[in-house]
Chain A
Amino acid sequence: MARVQSPARSRPSTYPGWFFLPAAIIYGVLFLLPTFASLYFSLTRWTLFNSTFIGLDNFAQFFREPFLIKGLINTVIYAVVSSGLKVVLGLLLAVLLTSQIAARGYLRSVVFFPVLVSTVGVGITFTVLMHPTQGMINEGLAMLGIKGPGWLVDPNLALISVALVDVWKGVGLATVIYIAGIVAIPQDYYEAARIDGSTPWQSFIYVTLPLCRPATVTVITLSFIGGLRTFDLIWAMTRGGPGFASDTIASVIYKQYQAGFYGLSTAGNVVLFVLIGVLVVPLTMLLNRKEGHE
């Protein structure tokens, strides 16, 4: 009789719970456990062998040292600039590549390929291309009669330069995500808009933009979180320099780790974790709520 009442319970072993085990053990031990441990070790002076509890001193130091605060601000600037540009350029490229122009396959491949290339390789290449005097970018600008800036050696520009390279490497991903979103919009909407006499611009604003909102949400969340966590590109290009001008939290974590300040480095990790939580959770809630209104 029990079988009739709850067929799912009568043979629970069709979907055995131990299937979770291998993944759960690896994820639990190597990801969750360190994450919880970081909450404690960020409150200590730590040599890896013994730790002394010092309360919130690490965090106090984090918000007292000007170069650490600079790293915090830089992280947010970097994430906003790179994800903002990826959204705008990705959407424009996707609209272009789903339109009637020729050579779409070629253009799509060319834009997407940098996504798959090693970040360190891209970083080194652009460090050379951005060389203030000999670099190709400034030589090209000189041919047009423009005096190029110092890109990576100018403290005011270094962080933005790295963010621009990040956009160069990552815009292909934003583009293919937008293409998938745009292709999924039924053609009927465009036809109806055309019959009502809308211009291509109006179709874009009133049909494409609202209907590819899920793609926008994906692109923003992915690239914003990626931007906040970024380390490899900054490390390959500037190592946080000149001075501390392009340090982000992730590069600060690495520097403190190298210097042997394990507690401080872990505190940096917790700060990054909190920063992502504080910025991304409201952001996704906002993005998803607006979707509900339409």
Chain B
Amino acid sequence: MKLLRRYWLTALAILVSGVVFLIPFAFIIMMAFKDRKQAALLDFSWPQGLHLWDNVVEVVTTRNWMLLTAFINSSILTVASVTLLVVFAAMVGFVLQRRKAKWNGLVEFLILAGLMIPPAIVPTIWLLQGLGLFGKLHGLVLVEIAYGLPFSILLYRAFIATIPRDLDEAAIIDGARPFDVFFRVILPLLWPVTVTNIVVQSVAVFNDFTNPLYYLPGNQNATVQLTLYNFQSQFNSSYNLLFTNIALITIPPLIVFLFFNRQIVAGMTAGAVKG
């Protein structure tokens, strides 16, 4: 009887999750296979004929290969900002956890403030313009680093607390310079939390829409999320192309998900147990 109920519950869970979570994705994929006329019906029907390749070619080549440029821009943005973010956050996390200094309280307050306070947008644009960084990819890289630092520092600090202090002291006694203690002894040991940081922040930066919208205007250096947003009005009557675009930009997160599922969950649930 209990076994029967368990099977019943499992079946129900699979059915409901399928309807709620899988059908929207199935819909995206099927739309990407359809031709324009069939896609315009917006219904959940099997594609008549396979038009995926035609759709992909048309989406990618549209507006002078804008989507390709966008993929390159998004990749540069993600790699550059996450690399620097990880190194800078680890450095802060290390010293913050190890050294009991007067300003630790202030640093912690600033971290919490960074997690809570919404960025002041127009003043940031004004500042970026003053620095000659507005509308530039490297300007956006710096912005993404600034916004991502608080979360990454928290992740690093929690992990560094589990690495014994004796290690730093042993390295110093062996004659290592402080710089080497961190970069050659500590940083390699932080690899698990570094992977978590890289994965979580990459997904966040790659999917970021708001910041590129404000700080990176213009079609020349659009990111993939901006491209999708621009296509939303351009492809208003060609839903097949719009959904092909959605399918294409979902591939990178899907790959990350397949390979780093555990690290993502670990990173995003950090702090759930301790509060």
CB distance from A241 to the nearest CB of B (A): 14
Instruction: Tell me whether B76 is interfacial, beta carbon within 8 Å.
Output: no
> Are B17 and A181 touching (Cβ within 8 A)?
no
Within 8 A of B (CB), among A1-38: 8, 11-17, 19-20, 22-24, 26-27, 29-35, 37-38
Closest residue to B120 on the A side, CB-wise? A38
Are the CB atoms of B127 and A33 closer together than 8 Å? yes
Whether A124 touches B246, Cβ cut-off 8 Å, given contacts A265-B122, A276-B118, is yes
CB <8 Å contact, A114 and B122: no
Q: Which 5 A-B pairs have the closest CB atoms?
A: A214-B275, A38-B120, A34-B123, A30-B146, A180-B269
Tell me the smallest distance from the CB of A116 to a CB of chain B, in Å. Answer: 4
- Nearest residue, chain A, Cβ from B89: A23
A residues in contact with B120, CB < 8 Å: 34-35, 37-38, 266, 269-270, 273
Q: Which of A78-86, A100-108, A202-210 contacts B (4 or more CB under 8 A)?
A: A100-108
The answer to whether A111 and B272 touch (CB under 8 A), given A37-B123, A38-B120, A118-B209, is no
The 8 A CB mask of A121-136 against B (1 = contact, 0 = none) is 1001110110100111
Total number of A residues with any Cβ neighbor in B under 8 Å: 94
Q: A112-B261, A266-B122 are in contact. List 13 more A-B contacts (CB 8 A).
A: A23-B89, A27-B146, A30-B145, A32-B110, A101-B6, A112-B265, A116-B203, A120-B225, A121-B228, A129-B27, A139-B44, A176-B269, A229-B118
A30 near B124 with CB under 8 A, answer: yes
**Partner-A contacts on B (CB < 8 A):** 6-7, 9-10, 13-14, 17-18, 20-25, 27-28, 41-44, 84, 87-89, 91-92, 94-96, 98-101, 107, 110, 114-129, 142-143, 145-147, 149, 153, 168-169, 172, 178-179, 181-182, 203, 207, 209-210, 213-214, 224-225, 228-229, 232, 239, 242-243, 246, 249-250, 253-254, 256-257, 261, 264-265, 268-269, 271-275
Q: A177-B272, A218-B272, A236-B232 are in contact. Are A109 and B42 (CB under 8 A)?
A: no
Contact partner of A119 (CB less than 8 A), chosen from B123, B147, B209, is: B209
Q: Which residues of B contact A17 (CB under 8 A)?
A: 95, 99, 101
The answer to whether B114 and A134 touch across the interface, beta carbons within 8 angstroms, is: no
**A117 with B42: CB separation less than 8 A:** no
- Tell me, in angstroms, the Cα distance from A213 to B21 when the chains sit together: 27
Q: Are the CB atoms of B122 and A103 closer together than 8 Å? A: no
The digit string for A45-75, where 1 denotes a CB below 8 A from any CB of B, is: 0101000000000000000000000000000
A173 at interface, CB cutoff 8 A? yes
A189 at the interface (CB under 8 A from B): no
**Residue ranges of A at the interface with B (Cβ–Cβ < 8 Å):** 8, 11-17, 19-20, 22-24, 26-27, 29-35, 37-38, 41, 46, 48, 96, 100-103, 106-107, 109-121, 124-126, 128-129, 131, 134-136, 139, 168, 173, 176-181, 184, 213-215, 217-219, 225, 229, 231-232, 235-236, 250, 253-254, 257, 262, 265-266, 269-270, 272-273, 276-277, 280, 288, 291
Which B-chain residue is minimally distant from A118 (CB atoms)?
Answer: B207
Chain A residue at minimum C-beta to C-beta distance from B31: A128
By a CB distance below 8 angstroms, the chain B residues around A30 are 124, 127-128, 142-143, 145-146
Contact A269 B118 (CB under 8 A): yes
- Chain B residue, CB-CB nearest to A139: B43
- Which residue in A125, A215, A232 is a CB contact (below 8 Å) of B209? A232
Let me know if B228 and A22 touch, CB within 8 A: no
Docked-complex contact A136 and B27, CB < 8 angstroms: yes
The CA of A254 and the CA of B116, in the complex, are separated in Å by: 19
**Which of A109, A124, A128, A135 sits near B228, CB closer than 8 Å?**
A124
Are B249 and A121 closer than 8 Å at their CB atoms? yes
A-side contacts of B110, CB under 8 Å: 27, 32
Specify the chain B residue showing the minimal Cβ separation from A39: B120
Tell me if B123 and A15 are in contact (CB < 8 A): no
The winner among A22, A184, A217 for most chain B CB atoms within 10 A is: A22
Decide if A120 touches B123 in the complex (CB within 8 Å). Answer: no
Shortest A43–chain B CB gap in Å is 12
- Tell me if B242 and A111 are in contact (CB < 8 A): no
A276 surroundings in chain B (CB, below 8 A): 116-118
Enumerate chain B residues within 8 angstroms of A37, measured Cβ to Cβ.
120, 123, 126-127
Residues in B with CB closer than 8 Å to A139 are 43-44
Which chain B residue lies CB-closest to A270?
B120
Asked if residues B92 and A14 are in contact (CB atoms below 8 Å), the reply is no
Do B229 and A34 touch across chains, with their CB atoms under 8 A apart?
Answer: no
Residues in A whose Cβ lies below 8 Å from that of B124 = 30, 34
- Tell whether, in the assembled complex, residue A135 and residue B94 are in contact, meaning their CB atoms are under 8 Å apart: no
A-B contact pairs, 5 of them (CB 8 A): A11-B172, A15-B95, A15-B168, A110-B17, A121-B250
A15/B118 in contact, CB under 8 A:
no
Residue of B24, B122, B225, B246 with most partner-chain A CB within 10 A: B122
Closest Cβ–Cβ distance, residue B43 to chain A (whole Å) = 7
- A31-B147, A134-B42 are known contacts. Are A180 and B225 too (CB-CB below 8 A)? no
